[in-house]
Structure 1
């Protein structure tokens, strides 16, 4: 598994060298953009980086970073200069404090990385993992990745530690205005019965991307020179009152007839 970032967890005098690995991979089908040519000789669209001043295509090695401080005026920053402003603390995942696992609202979670100890750091890493896991605590930390300081929650599991990159509070949009309405007690009890009747353990291995399978089948159909057949639509539900809808849905749940 490729390493996304190298760093070290620092807690006071404790220093644990670690590497960060992406927790997920892209499995969706990707399409190329082609020229809509009537001759059927489709060609991939190319995106070229052209300098508007000289009109020439610019190679990646010839591109530098610049910040527009006034309209049309830029100050350039090199990668070496970006490294110079990073302190030793910036280059580590420095723990600020510990907190309860339930303290962080899930809306704060941005993306995850697996943490893996580098050679020599295995024992300190395992000590930290066990201490966090048994205490049901997370470590709140900060680090710099690329050109951005990240807020991080070190989240212990039975086997390792997940580095959960958090949004800063200023990045979270305010909750949309919602008109509060009164809920009937009978409706609430019926809704709770529905939830209870459909509650079962979550098993991640039981779920797969069914649409991707349909998409691959459709692609193969086109490769075979056949037309894609329109999928059958489910019957539309007639508008009914909330209580009746809950009762009917509960009956369907009890009969295991709710489509998945």
Structure 2
């Protein structure tokens, strides 16, 4: 597994050198966008609308828009120093709580934790303590220039760190439109709904659930490929060949002949302008 982060995590005076590895992967089927006419991939370029030109990554700086069209520019060096200053700190477990006290709306991403050199015993100690107490740890960590709240818990004999949102990142439910306060329901309606829930109640088995859309999409792609319903991107036109070059030369000769037919007055003007260029 690819290591995404290295550092230490501590609780009390116990320090554990660890590595983080992504616990999940995105298996979405990525579709490209093509130009319908020639079936070539669409390009997305970074362009400055004021200078009306394409901009390279080296010409781009980061900034914070504090009000409409007003920015505070942040130097790359300042951001790097700030990031390093925070990343150099070890991750300290601040509190231990019960997992059921955290609503799932707070959860974000999951990372497996493995012990780094010399950390196996301390790793095993934290895992054992969490298992025996039924608790999880609350910590803070900097990942990719963002400070995040996280929990540390045991998952199938492995320590896992899951980033969770800060309270101010979870929107207020009062802002959700059209939510009814109370709804008048008959006892029969409620009892029927409860009966239905009881009938559909089962132990959670993740293997039971599959991404049917992704499976169907991949089957469609395979069927089209097997039937040779495929498209090959067209190459850009090659440079003009000799015949095209000859055509261009002949047209140039024609235009030269036409220019010689200009009036004497225009010829004089043309000579004067040529002399000025030579003298400059």
Q: Is the 8 A contact 1:112 1:162 kept in 2?
A: yes
1:199 aligns with 2:201: yes
Q: Is the 8 A contact 1:133 1:157 kept in 2?
A: no
Change (3 A) 1:47 1:85: closer
Written as runs of structure 1 = structure 2, the 5 A alignment for 1:81-230 is 81-84=79-82, 87=85, 91-175=89-173, 176=176, 177-223=179-225, 224=227
Query: Using the alignment, how far apart are the partners of 1:127 and 1:214 within structure 2?
Result: 46
Q: Is the 8 A contact 1:93 1:142 kept in 2?
A: yes
Relative to the length of structure 2, the TM-score reads: 0.70
Partner residue of 1:248?
A: none
- State the shift of 1:138 in Å: 0.8
Change (3 A) 1:110 1:90: farther
- State the shift of 1:85 in Å: 6.2
Query: Using the alignment, how far apart are the partners of 2:117 and 2:6 within structure 1?
Result: 12
Query: Using the alignment, how far apart are the partners of 1:48 and 1:6 within structure 2?
Result: 34
Query: Using the alignment, how far apart are the partners of 1:123 and 1:6 within structure 2?
Result: 17
- State the shift of 1:158 in Å: 3.6
Relative to the length of structure 1, the TM-score reads: 0.75
**SS state at 1:155 partner:** strand
Return 56-65 or 162-171, whichever deviates more: 56-65
Partner residue of 1:65?
A: 62
Structure with greater Cα Rg: 2
- What residue ranges of structure 2 are gaps of 5+ in the alignment? 230-280
Query: Using the alignment, how far apart are the partners of 1:80 and 1:56 within structure 2?
Result: 28
What is the aligned counterpart of 2:46 among 45, 49, 67? 49
Query: Using the alignment, how far apart are the partners of 2:2 and 2:121 within structure 1?
Result: 23
Indicate the structure with greater helix content.
2
- State the shift of 1:76 in Å: 2.8
Partner residue of 2:240?
A: none
Query: Using the alignment, how far apart are the partners of 1:54 and 1:88 within structure 2?
Result: 37
**SS state at 2:43 partner:** coil
Change (3 A) 1:91 1:220: same
- What residue ranges of structure 1 are gaps of 5+ in the alignment? 227-260
Return 67-76 or 5-14, whichever deviates more: 67-76
**SS state at 2:73 partner:** strand
